[in-house]
Amino acid sequence: MTATVTAPPKAPQQPHARAPRRKPVRSRLPDLIMAGPAVLVFVLMFIVPMILAFVLSLTDWNGYSLKFDFIGLENYRFAFRNPRTVDAAIFTAVVAVVGTTLCNIVGLAVAVLIAAPGRVNTVLRTIFFYPYIISSLIIGFLWSAMLQPNGVANSLLGHVGVGPLPFLIDATWAKGSVIATILWSSFGFNMILFIAGIKSVPTEYYEAATVDGASRWQQFRAITVPLIAPVLTVNLVLTLVGLLKVYDVVLALTDGGPAAGTQTIVYQILKDSFARSALGLGAAQSVVLLIVTAIIGLAVTFARRGAEQKVAA
């Protein structure tokens, strides 16, 4: 096996092309059998659909039959001119940017406070993290039940003489409620990654800094932040890319309302595709989302790589 692989693959040197006798015959066929099924399934369910997304975005496919006509760039033109889609895109961008900022600030702040080992910190970590493993659809329904006009939150506020507040029935409040629910349910994930990053920082650095008289804030700025730069990158990319496709929590919390004020791009895509049977239009918006996601993901990764290298240098 080793011999086969390390041998330089220069066939021209050996005119009788068969190279080392038994190895290729032995390893090729099993390789194919071992790799084939996974490649087949993946190509069928990922690569072919990727290409099809582009093709279908140029059609008026309704999803039910297999018949459709090509209508050029009409879907894209419609999507970009449709105020519904534009509003959804703006709200999605707000959720992604504000949500990512809040989740990472809170996640990092809490991580710094409870990164040290200890029983209390372990319990706190569990408390902050647990919503992450619950389906975001159910999180959305839970908060929807609590934030209704006659719900638990307003009842509690009433006891202290406040409210009732229009958490879900005023468009601006509803936008805030969506972001707050996302923060509640997912900063724990960012926190867990930050804690893993902080734990990988050698404690000697902090000890040395303490001896030198550095304050805790100075230690945070000069040691923690630079050394967890790669974790910060991962956190930013994952949260940002994840929030660009936010859907479940919105569906359950506000169902896109009130007055379509909290519709996100994926909400729009699925509504057009399956409630309005315009899958061609849905595909066009998906393609735009894919391109935007890829650009943002790559941009943040490269921008952060710059920051990480500056630290390393």
Partner 1 sequence: MSTVRSRGTLAGTVLKWVVLTAIALVMLIPMYILVISAFKPQAEIIQQPLLIDLSTFTLEYLKEALTSEKFNVVRAYGVTLSFVLMVNVLGIALAAPVAYVIARGRKKWHLGMLLLFVSGLFIPGQVTLIPVVFVLRVLGLINTVPGFILFETAATLPVTIFLFSAYLRTIPRDIDEAAALDGAGQIRAFWSCIFPIMRPVVATIVVLNSISVWNDFVSPQIILGPSSGIYTVTTGVYSAVGQYSTDYTVVFPTLLLAILPAVIFFVFMQRHIIGGLVAGATKG
Enumerate residues 209-238 that contact partner 1 by CB under 8 A. Answer: 210, 215-216, 219, 230-231, 234, 238
Q: Which is nearer to partner 1, 76 or 141 (CB)?
A: 141
Residues in contact with partner 1, shown as a per-residue x/- string from 135 to 154 under the rule CB under 8 A: xxxx--xxxxxx-x-xxx--
Output the smallest distance, CB 266 to partner 1, in A: 5
**Using rule CB under 8 A, residue 91 touches partner 1:** no
**Using rule CB under 8 A, residue 299 touches partner 1:** no
Residues in contact with partner 1, shown as a per-residue x/- string from 109 to 138 under the rule CB under 8 A: -x--xx-x-------xxxxxxxx-xxxxxx
Which among 15-23, 27-35, 72-80, 94-102 is the span making contact with partner 1, rule CB under 8 A?
Answer: 27-35
Distance CA 245, CA 145 (A): 23
* Span 60-89, contacts to partner 1 by CB under 8 A: 61, 63, 66
Q: Which is nearer to partner 1, 226 or 230 (CB)?
A: 230
Distance CA 205, CA 4 (A): 47
- Residue in 183, 202, 111, 181 with CA at minimum distance from that of residue 139: 181
**Using rule CB under 8 A, residue 259 touches partner 1:** no
Cβ neighbors of 234 (< 8 A, separation 6 or more) are 193
**Using rule CB under 8 A, residue 9 touches partner 1:** yes
**Using rule CB under 8 A, residue 310 touches partner 1:** no
Output the smallest distance, CB 45 to partner 1, in A: 3
DSSP strands (E only) in 170-211: none
Q: Which is nearer to partner 1, 86 or 134 (CB)?
A: 134
Output the smallest distance, CB 193 to partner 1, in A: 6
- The single-letter DSSP state of residue 1 is -
Q: Which is nearer to partner 1, 91 or 247 (CB)?
A: 247
Residues in contact with partner 1, shown as a per-residue x/- string from 151 to 190 under the rule CB under 8 A: xx--xx---------------------------x----x-
**What is the token pair recorded at 161?**
């003489």
Output the smallest distance, CB 98 to partner 1, in A: 18
The answer to whether 33 touches 267, Cβ cutoff 8 Å, is: no
Give the number of other CB atoms < 10 A from CB of residue 252: 20
The answer to whether 254 touches 88, Cβ cutoff 8 Å, is: no
**Using rule CB under 8 A, residue 3 touches partner 1:** no
Instruction: Write the single-letter amino acid at 291.
Output: I
Residue-by-residue DSSP string for 211-248: HTT--HHHHIIIIIHHHTHHHHHHHHHHHHHHHHT--H
Q: Which is nearer to partner 1, 79 or 193 (CB)?
A: 193
Which among 36-44, 74-82, 85-93, 96-104 is the span making contact with partner 1, rule CB under 8 A?
Answer: 36-44
Calculate the CA 32 to chain-centre distance. Answer: 34
Q: Which is nearer to partner 1, 86 or 145 (CB)?
A: 145
Give me the residue label for tokens 């991962």.
234
Distance CA 292, CA 286 (A): 10
The answer to whether 152 touches 146, Cβ cutoff 8 Å, is: yes
**Using rule CB under 8 A, residue 286 touches partner 1:** yes
- The single-letter DSSP state of residue 258 is S
